[in-house]
Amino acid sequence: MADETSDNFFNEFLDDYFAESEEHLAIVRNRLLAIEQFVGKASVDSAHLDELFRSFHTLKGISAMVGLTPAEELAHKMESYLGALREGRISLLPEGFEALIEGTRTLEKVIGAYRNNESLPDIDRSSELIESLTGAKPQTGSAAETKDTEPVTETGKSTTSQQWRFVFVPGAVHAAAGVNVNSVRASLQNIGEIIRSTPLIQEGEIAFEFIVVSDASETDLAGLEKSGLTFGPLVEPSPESEVEVAGGSEPSTATASTSSAASAFVRVDLVRLDQLMLFVSDLVVSKARLETQLKSMRGSISDRDWRGLQEINAAFGKQLRDLRHGVMRIRMVPIGEIFERMRFVVRDLSRETGKTVVLDIRGADTEIDKFLVERLMDPLLHLVRNAISHGIEGEAERLAAGKSPAGHVRLRAHTAGEVVVIEISDDGRGIDTEEIAARNPHLQLFDAAGEIDAPQLLKIISTPGFSTRDQVDRASGRGVGMDVVHQAITELEGTVSLETTRGEGTLFRITLPLTLAITDALIASVGGHMFALQQSAVNEVVEIDPKSIKIMENNEIVLYRNHVLPLVRLSNVFGYEKKESGTLYAFVVGSGSRATALVVDKVLGLREVVVRSLTDPLLDIKGIAGATELGDGRPILILDAMEILSVAATN
């Protein structure tokens, strides 16, 4: 058990813990759905089991480290059950699968409650359930017998595929070029399935050997030689790989089989990514300064030189935009992660409502910004819930309408230019527009041709409080939380649209910008007002003792690191009251001889914020770049440091 000191010691890792738990829970949800098809069969695809086992193992380990004992205990039980499955001691029966789902849900709740400082839910039921199933007698005979006859899906490759042996010799030169064992593995996973990876000694050097099953041709593979790989066909399949296909229990071979479509992605540490973003932001600032400098040279150089510089500058601008775009793209994750979670919702709701619902997912590999993932969960949840609770009819009603007894809900995502489009549709009864119109005679829901005015309808059902009007809600079959959906999407700078046909179904279409303007911002206060400043524009945050401020030619200055640093008080620029006493803080912006300290009363912290543009002409004010909101409903202005300095200079 972690003692008291280590509890405190590890407190700063709680965010890491929650982030990593979430990743593993996502893997677990995914893999659980993937193994559902093996329920009742003698054996389960070992790659899925390995991944599940490892995720619970990690959840157990990290939960233990942060002292979250119930999570540790439950994860341990789940791991043991999966271990028994993996070793073939038990087979996956429906109650076992249910217990896994149930346990996962409880584990999510425990971690969620811990995160929100709520009292932890009871784990006993889930824990005992899974434990009782693990303890079940090993099923001798029957399971072993059927094992050979049961075809193991997903390992079956087309007949044209072949085994290849790749050898990679790691070294400093490769490492410097960004080629390492992880990147090599990732590129091999792109061309096929790695069935074994082991270190070996080759000519006195350490090397790595990968056995890959791939249907790529030799010429396809030739490109890989550039990254330091040598390869050749493997004539005889190694005995290990046979064990592996048969679902072997040896730990070394079992672990070697971890390959999946998902692991074709290189995992990037978010911290490193943020750093990269900062570098890019720095470049953007430098570019802006370069431009200003260029403009000031206009009169003093020849037209020919000027044109040359302009061309280079324009090319630089384009490359910078591409780079920025590229870096933003790294933040993208497949939307499938959220879609898969909806499967759980559908399972639950279809059980609750007694309706059979088939969930059809398309475009799961569409990528969206990581930032969007968390914020899309609630709106999608609302829409899927509404589709099943209100849209999809009961079986009798469906049959009477000449429809298939099972309702269909479709989640679809695709990108179109700079936007990502997400559609949630059902083949249910559609929104009863006539009913809404009849109850609200003053509304104009139909146009001259008698067609539904969909935007108008959407506006109505998205009105806060609309859903509380029970009658209309029941009649419309919609409205629950639609205002929440609308608001969440608007906050992400997106839009919602609606199509509905009576008796045929309803479709909601969410359109979101592919990348959001997200930035790290320093939050400060001046004269009692909060402001944000892009962190990338700030070189340093310094404390200033008011006594050390000197006046030189009407300007306030301080000596800082043996340099004269001019001060610009934001309170002056904005006409706010000057802080009378106590330490001041300043953001050092600009560098070298142009460095200036932007003085604020207090620095409140660093936050990741969504930059919202202020488009209204009333808000076109020099020095104010946009606004954001920190979650309390109060807008905060984002300042443009360079513009603030130029405003101050003209005053």
Partner 1 sequence: MKTEQETKILIVDDSRTIRRMIAKSLANIHRTTFEEAENGLEAIERLVLGPVSLMVLDLNMPEMHGIEVLKFVRSRPAYKSMPVVVLTTRGDDVSQADALAAGASLYLTKPFSPQELENKVRQLLT
Partner 2 sequence: MKDSLATAMFSEATSNKFILFELMNTTYGVRSAFVRRLEMLENITPVPNSSATVEGVVLSRGRIIPAVNLRTRFGFPKVPFDIRTRLVIVESEGRTVGLIVDSSREFKTINEADIKLPPEGITNLNGEYLEGIATVDGRMILVLSLNEILKVGDPVSEATIDLSQKEQSDQQKVRTS
State the residues that interact with partner 2 by CB under 8 A: 440, 442-444, 456, 459-460, 463, 465-466, 469, 486-491, 529-530, 573-576, 612, 614, 616-624, 627, 629, 632-637, 647
Does residue number 466 form part of the binding site for partner 1 (CB under 8 A)?
Answer: no
- Select the binding partner of residue 258 from partner 1, partner 2, none (C-beta < 5 to 8 A, by kind): partner 1
Q: Which does 320 bind (CB under 5 to 8 A by kind): partner 2, partner 1, none?
A: none
The answer to whether 251 contacts partner 1 (rule: CB under 8 A) is yes
- The helix or strand, by DSSP H or E, that contains position 50, with its residue range, turns out to be helix 46-65
The answer to whether the beta carbons of residues 299 and 334 sit under 8 Å apart is: no
Given partner 2, partner 1, none, residue 1, with its beta carbon under 5 to 8 Å by kind, binds: partner 1
Show the binding pattern over residues 122-161: x = contacts partner 1 (CB under 8 A), - = does not. Answer: ----------------------------------------
| Two tokens, residue 543 | 């404390």
Instruction: Decide which of partner 1, partner 2, none touches 637; Cβ closer than 5 to 8 Å per partner kind.
Output: partner 2
Tell me how far, at minimum, the Cβ of 479 lies from partner 2, in Å.
Answer: 13
Smallest distance from partner 1 to CB 33, Å: 21
Q: Which helix (H) or strand (E) holds 563?
A: strand 563-569
| Residue 526 beta carbon to partner 2: minimum distance, rounded to whole angstroms | 9
Instruction: Report in angstroms how near the CB of residue 602 gets to partner 2 at its nearest.
Output: 17
* 37 or 198: CB nearest partner 1: 198
CA distance 498 to 507: 6
What is the rounded CA–CA span in Å between residue 395 and residue 225?
59
* Residue 265 makes contact with partner 1 by CB under 8 A: no
Residue 2 to residues 19, 59, 114, 117, 501: CA-CA distances in angstroms?
21, 16, 17, 19, 59
Beta partners for residue 588, in sequence order: 540, 597
Residue 525 contact partner, candidates partner 2, partner 1, none, CB within 5 to 8 A by sort of partner: none
Which CB sits closer to partner 2, 68 or 609?
Answer: 609
Neighbours of 644 (CB within 10 A): 25
d(CA 480, CA 485): 9
Residue 532, beta-bridge partner list: 523, 638
Closer residue to partner 2 in complex, CB, 53/587 = 587
In one-letter notation, the amino acid at residue 197 is S
Residue 446 corresponds to which tokens in the numbers above? 């139909």
Binding mask 52-81 for partner 1 (x = CB under 8 A): --x--xx-xxx-xx-x--------x-----
With DSSP H G I counted as helix, E B as strand and the rest as coil, what are the percentages for the chain, rounded to 5? Answer: 50, 25, 25
Check the CA dihedral 74-76-78-84 and report its sign.
Answer: negative
- 228 touching partner 1, by CB under 8 A: no
Query: Is residue 365 classed exposed, middle or buried when 0-12, 13-18 and 19+ CB atoms within 10 A define those classes?
Result: exposed
Pairing status of strand 538-544 against strand 229-233: unpaired
Neighbours of 93 (CB within 10 A): 15
Closest to partner 2 by CB, 2 vs 445, is: 445
Q: How far apart are CA 123 and CA 106, in angstroms?
A: 7
Q: Packing angle between helix 336-353 and helix 14-35, nearest 10 degrees?
A: 60
* Element of type H or E holding 107: helix 94-115
574 binds, among partner 1, partner 2, none (CB under 5 to 8 A by kind): partner 2
Please tell me whether residue 10 binds partner 1 under the rule CB under 8 A. yes
**121, 171, 317, 513: residue in contact with partner 1 (rule CB under 8 A):** 171
Residue number, 10 or 371, with CB nearest to partner 1: 10
Q: Find the binder of partner 1 among 206, 301, 400, 559 (CB under 8 A).
A: 206
Q: Which residues bind partner 1 (CB under 8 A)?
A: 1-3, 5-6, 9-10, 12-13, 16-17, 19-20, 54, 57-58, 60-62, 64-65, 67, 76, 170-172, 175, 180-182, 185, 197-199, 201, 205-206, 208, 251-252, 255-256, 258, 267, 269
